Amino acid sequence: MAEPGDQVLQVRITLRYVDDPPVWRQVLIPAAYPLSRVHRVVQAVMGWEDCHMHAFQIGKTTYGPDPEGEIGYADETKARLADVARVRTRIGYEYDFGDSWEHELVVEARTVAEDGQTYPACIAGEGACPPEDCGGVYGFAELKEVLAGPDRRGTRRDAGVGG
């Protein structure tokens, strides 16, 4: 928990390549959080179920879970957000390497925790995340088309009825 006066970063999280509607959240995250906790914040505010692998890309370094040291990721439990990001820093975050949901985290501002406020806090956002395991960006586009119904895919429901 952030105490009043602790550093907090305002981060905009955007799901890349999904824009109809766009999916994004604006979140206040304690700067002392390790990336492993930032991962949990992303999962919560985006509505993911946290049942797939993930990784952060900051500059040339990839951070993620790698308890056996086999993948070659830097340890996300030891990298604090404040140590790897400043205002305007762009962080790549990929979730579900099969569907490849790419997110961009942009640090928009640095502020301090206020008394009576709970952190992390989602302060703005738009759009719902796609369902888990729907096939990535292309599978999601196809799913939306199917759910829209035949009249939205170029086939009229009332074809031949009334003119």
pLDDT on residue 152: 57
Q: What pLDDT, on the 0 to 100 scale, is given for residue 156?
A: 45
Given pLDDT bands bounded at 50, 70 and 90, which one contains residue 153?
A: low
The more confident residue out of 155 and 45 is 45
What is the per-residue pLDDT for 154? Answer: 53
pLDDT above 60 for 160: no
Query: Which residue from 23, 21, 30 is spatially nearest to 46, judged by alpha carbons?
Result: 23
Q: Return the pLDDT at 51.
A: 95
The pLDDT value recorded for residue 69 is 82
pLDDT over 70 (residue 122): yes
Query: What's residue 148's pLDDT?
Result: 85
Joined together, the tokens standing for residue 25 give: 């959240």
* Tens digits of residue pLDDT in 83-118: 999 999 999 999 999 999 999 999 999 999 999 999
pLDDT surpassing 60 at residue 80: yes
The pLDDT mean for the chain works out to 91
> Would you state the pLDDT for residue 150?
79
How do residues 37-64 score in pLDDT, each as one tens digit? Answer: 999 999 999 999 999 999 999 999 999 9
Between 124 and 3, whose confidence is greater?
124
φ, ψ for residue 151 (rounded to 5)? Answer: -65, -20
Residue 158 has pLDDT above 80, yes or no: no
Q: Are 102 and 56 in contact (CB under 8 A)?
A: no
Quote the CA–CA distance of 27 and 142 in Å, as a whole number: 30
What 80-83 contacts at long range (C-beta under 8 Å, 24+ apart), as own/partner pairs, is 80/31, 80/32, 80/33, 80/34, 80/35, 81/9, 81/29, 81/30, 81/31, 81/32, 81/33, 81/34, 81/35, 81/38, 82/7, 82/9, 82/31, 82/32
